[in-house]
């Protein structure tokens, strides 16, 4: 399986989970790439954490899980604080990779959640 296939398979699973949690998930998934591009990955994750609504928490968890998978870890959510510590200590190349992977995953999630959300 190629990386893009893994990414799309994961996004499909995440989109189904997200849409099941809230109809607002698809709109948030659509808006989040611009938040990342304008404010940065850590600031966007902090925003999602601060909002605290179900669809915000779900999308944040999905991004954290994918970042960990791409960093060579298990598909589990390390939690907000733990990932922030990891990103704070990351080298710039690792941080850029986490940002890029988040954007690539969101591209798939946006498409799938829009199709699922009607």
**pLDDT tens for each residue of 60-113:** 999 999 999 999 989 999 999 999 999 999 999 999 999 999 999 999 999 999
Structure tokens given for 15? 């989109």
Residue 64: CB partners within 8 Å, gap ≥ 6? 45, 77, 78, 79, 80, 83
* pTM of the shown model: 0.95
Q: Report d(CA 36, CA 98) in Å as an integer.
A: 11
pLDDT digits 0-9 by tens, 18-70: 999 999 999 999 999 999 999 999 999 999 999 999 999 999 999 999 999 99
The reported pLDDT for the residue numbered 118 is 56
Listing DSSP states for 90-117 in one string gives S-HHHHHHHHHHHHHHHHHHHHHHHHHH
């Amino acid at each position: 399986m190629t990386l893009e296939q893994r990414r799309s398979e994961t996004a499909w699973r995440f989109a189904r989970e997200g849409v099941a949690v809230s109809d607002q998930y698809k709109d948030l998934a659509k808006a989040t790439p611009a938040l990342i591009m304008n404010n940065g990955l850590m600031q966007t994750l902090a925003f999602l954490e601060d909002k605290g609504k179900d669809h915000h928490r779900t999308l944040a968890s999905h991004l954290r899980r994918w970042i960990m998978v791409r960093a060579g870890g298990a598909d589990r959510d390390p939690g907000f604080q733990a990932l922030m510590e990891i990103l704070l200590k990351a080298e710039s190349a690792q941080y850029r990779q986490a940002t890029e992977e988040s954007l690539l995953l969101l591209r798939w999630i946006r498409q799938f959640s829009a199709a699922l959300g009607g």
